Structure 1
Amino acid sequence: MNAESDGRQAGATTPAPSDTGGKTGTEPPVLGSRAPHFIKKSRALHLSWQVGVFVVGLAVVIVGIIMLPLPGPGWLVIFGGIGIWATEFVWAQLVLRWTKRKVSEATQRALDPRVRRRNIILTTIGLIIIGAALAVYIYKFGIVMPWKIDE
């Protein structure tokens, strides 16, 4: 069979999967476990590996949830825990892929000049309102240090 009969161009060549490591660059990464091969061979060892990965990922996600109201990078830690889960579980890989896509879309929207201008205007208006409210409070009550407050 020649190149013209199957729809390919005569001079075009496609790299063999071994040349690109099995990936052509446009394909999404393969979903599934990234456990070492010797662990995948034994069902009991693989199940133990999955339980361990789940427990470690759960601990990281719980720490991230605790960090949400406290000082610290809560969301970053939560996504790190999901990333740990994504090394073993397909559902976490899909959640992580969806999250990355949404963050990229939000970044592109935020870089739009009209949206940036609107956000700058709204932030400026908000700061003016907060400054005016603070000025009214200080004018009415003055500045009293906490250690000087009479009971």
Structure 2
Amino acid sequence: MNAESDERRDAATDGADGSDKGLGSRAPHFVKRHRTLHLSWQVGVFVVGLAVVIAGIIMLPLPGPGWLVIFGGMAIWATEFVWAQLVLRWTKRKVTEAAQRALDPEVRRRNIILTVTGLVIVAALVGVYVAKYGFAMPWKVGK
């Protein structure tokens, strides 16, 4: 056994104290009792989750909340599939870690300095452009 499988086994036993729901299917009990019905349920959940994930992927280059919809599809899958539950737990952990790092005063100071530096550079480039060409649009320059 390795640490990852121990972690998964521990995660699967969560829920006994009410702190976290365990891994596995959240299908109604009457669906779980019949193998054919449960398999049909899983296929249905997979198809609906896949449709939502595909819609999110389509929204990535188009206007719309693409990543939010993709994670919504993953949440649909997580109601039935352990692998999706593990992916969502990993994602939640990474987002929480990133949020904590962003709140660190040193990181915030560095990000503010980089943002201000970038804005100064952009302002300087815009100033050079306006000084050379005036307020002409780029596609009308040189005519």
Shift of 1:145: 5.4
TM-score (norm 2): 0.81
- 1:1-151 equivalence runs, <5 A: 23-26=16-19, 28-144=20-136
> Deviations for 1:115-140, whole angstroms, at most 9, x for unmatched residues?
00100110010111111111111222
In terms of mean alpha carbon deviation, does 136-145 or 101-110 score higher? 136-145
Given that 2:56 and 2:68 are in contact with CA atoms closer than 8 Å, whether structure 1 keeps it comes out as yes
Higher helix share: 2
Using the alignment, how far apart are the partners of 1:141 and 1:70 within structure 2?
33
Using the alignment, how far apart are the partners of 1:31 and 1:114 within structure 2?
38
CA-based RMSD? 2.1
> Deviations for 1:19-53, whole angstroms, at most 9, x for unmatched residues?
xxx63245x42110001111111111111111111
CA 1:69–1:127 in 2, change beyond 3 Å: closer, same or farther? same
Q: Which of the pair has more CA radius of gyration?
A: 1
Using the alignment, how far apart are the partners of 2:122 and 2:55 within structure 1?
33
**Displaced runs of 4+ in structure 1, greater than 3 A?**
148-151
Structure 2, unaligned runs of 5 or more:
1-14
